[in-house]
Structure 1
Amino acid sequence: MGFATTDDGQEIFFRTHGTNGPLLVFVSGYFGVDNIWQPLIAKLSLQYRCISYDSRGYGRSSKPVSSDSYSVTRHAADLRTVLDACNITERVVFVTHSMGCNIAAAYYLAYPDSVTGMINSAAYYDGHRIQKFVPKEAFASGADIPSQCVAFYTNMGLDEETALEAARWPAHGRRNNAHALISFTMENKYPQINVPALVVLGQDDAATPEELVTPIVQEMPTCKLEVLKGVQHFPPTEAPVEMERLIRVFVEGLSR
């Protein structure tokens, strides 16, 4: 584990796992810490190398106060900083959650030769379109009230023990990341993401219904959709066994 320093002087906490095999990079979303990935990484790191990290505004990473310090493209630049700190020069597979799908997309558009595939769980098209289903006020509501922060995530399917992490975050971090999420637009650039991709959707996910997902699958040149029954917005924690299987099948398919 370590801290990577960004070009604007912020520190991003990261962890590396495993010593052999293809490289998986786990990108969190509006629940911006790497906690949701740890059960999966414990299994996958026996066969793959894995990198996980906390996004700015969350967990063990820096939490700048200014809203100007937050955007999806800024998060993508932070991701590049983490990979540079880990001396990564090879192409990677992104495994993302929620807003992480937009962060990975922004990263790909900036560094298309650095990515070999994407697995996007609880994905949505972009912040502009998600407002129809989850208004900006909902993301930042109760930011000053720990119990409401926890309820925001448990209502979307996250277990309470993990959701309690949100009670530790400063309110400005949640507000600024809410603005970053809502402000981002893909500007119809999904057709430019020309790598194998898989979108994993929870059938009961009210935050990212199929209307926000199918355009991604339709527009990306090589993208498939997997729908998990009985799952809401957190496939990595709600369905870890199935997620592990899907990741393994996807990565094995890249080498064929």
Structure 2
Amino acid sequence: MGTITTSDGTEIFYKDWGTGQPIVFSHGWPLSADDWDTQMMFFLAQGYRVIAHDRRGHGRSTQTSDGHDMDHYAADLRALTEHLDLHDAIHVGHSTGGGEVAHYIGQYGEDRVARAILISAVPPIMVQTESNPGGLPKSVFDGLQEQVATNRSAFYRDLPSTAFYGFNRDGVEPIEAVIQNWWRQGMMGGAKAHYDGIVAFSQTDFTEDLKKITVPTLVMHGEDDQVVPFADAGPLSAELVQNGTLKAYPGFPHGMPTTEAATINADILEWLRS
């Protein structure tokens, strides 16, 4: 584990375990590198080098006042890959992290990238616009910002208890430890970063970034995703990249890398070996 300091003085915390081909994990909002523990342990055991960082303002990275936008997120990821001198890397992004991966490749190219995996990811664009009528109304994201600004601890308890992991569905038993771990990670980060990050993940249009991606790209999305609805995300992203494969999961929730880790990890490994 270590830190790097970016050009604007922000310290970015990261984990770097093992040797072999690197897999770089970008986490979702408002979490941290810890959300990838299950994947990191699994792929470490398969002989990969696994790396995950806390996005600026999240986890153990600096709680900066500004820079909470996709341009900075992508630049921070580039700084990390250059610091570690990564080549032939596999980039995996969940939710907001999927946007980070797409924007990183779109902005900085594929010279260090071998493959990309977007899981329950926010691209192409979440918010409803004239060109994206299937998106969610801006008022939804305004409401999230209001909760972060005024009621963050309770909000960070409610979201993983319900829609994030599908624990509000009939017959689904909530897992208390998963809910508490989500809350723990969220509360480690900064309220300002999380507030601004809602705009970053919801209003950034990743369409042009996706069009620039030529490396093999696996798009994994749960059909019962209540946070990033399936129809306006996964299928569209898989079509926009130049070498995309869509893998849809009936009944799986937004947080499927945690609750459905055995399936997700096995499917990623199979695709990487194909």
Q: Is the 2:220–2:246 Cα contact (8 Å) retained in structure 1?
A: yes
Shift of the 113–3 alpha-carbon distance from structure 1 to 2, 3 Å rule, reads: same
Q: Name 2:170's counterpart in structure 1.
A: none
Shift of 1:190: 2.1
Shift of 1:199: 1.0
CA separation in 2, counterparts of 1:70 and 1:81? 16
Shift of 1:217: 1.2
Show the 5 A alignment for 1:1-256: 1-19=1-19, 21-46=20-45, 47-66=47-66, 69-88=67-86, 90-109=87-106, 110-124=108-122, 125-129=124-128, 130-132=135-137, 135-143=140-148, 144-145=150-151, 146-158=153-165, 159-165=178-184, 166-212=186-232, 213-253=234-274
Between the aligned residues of both structures, percent identity stands at 23
CA separation in 2, counterparts of 1:154 and 1:134? 22
Shift of 1:113: 1.8
Aligned alpha-carbon RMSD (Å): 1.9
Shift of the 203–182 alpha-carbon distance from structure 1 to 2, 3 Å rule, reads: closer
SS of 1:136 mapped into structure 2: helix
C-alpha offsets along residues 41-61 of structure 1, whole Å, 9 cap, x if unaligned?
112102211100100111100
Q: Which amino acid in 2 is paired with 1:193?
A: I
SS of 1:55 mapped into structure 2: coil
Q: Which amino acid in 1 is paired with 2:100?
A: I
CA separation in 2, counterparts of 1:26 and 1:202? 19
Shift of the 27–84 alpha-carbon distance from structure 1 to 2, 3 Å rule, reads: same
SS of 1:78 mapped into structure 2: helix
Shift of 1:218: 1.4
TM-score (norm 1): 0.90
Q: Which amino acid in 1 is paired with 2:265?
A: E
Q: Is the 1:203–1:229 Cα contact (8 Å) retained in structure 2?
A: yes
CA separation in 2, counterparts of 1:211 and 1:43? 30
CA separation in 2, counterparts of 1:136 and 1:23? 34
Q: Is the 2:103–2:209 Cα contact (8 Å) retained in structure 1?
A: no
Q: Is 105-114 or 234-243 further displaced after alignment?
A: 105-114
Shift of 1:155: 2.3
TM-score (norm 2): 0.84
SS of 2:93 mapped into structure 1: strand
Q: Is 148-157 or 228-237 further displaced after alignment?
A: 148-157
Shift of the 131–63 alpha-carbon distance from structure 1 to 2, 3 Å rule, reads: farther
Shift of the 152–134 alpha-carbon distance from structure 1 to 2, 3 Å rule, reads: farther
In structure 1, list runs of 5 or more residues that go unmatched.
Answer: none
Q: Is the 2:126–2:228 Cα contact (8 Å) retained in structure 1?
A: no
Q: Is 150-159 or 242-251 further displaced after alignment?
A: 150-159
CA separation in 1, counterparts of 2:98 and 2:11? 22
CA separation in 2, counterparts of 1:190 and 1:167? 32
Shift of 1:161: 2.1
In structure 2, list runs of 5 or more residues that go unmatched.
Answer: 129-134, 166-177
CA separation in 1, counterparts of 2:266 and 2:44? 14
For these two proteins, the number of residue pairs brought into alignment is: 249
Q: Is the 1:35–1:162 Cα contact (8 Å) retained in structure 2?
A: no
Shift of 1:210: 2.7
CA separation in 2, counterparts of 1:94 and 1:139? 28
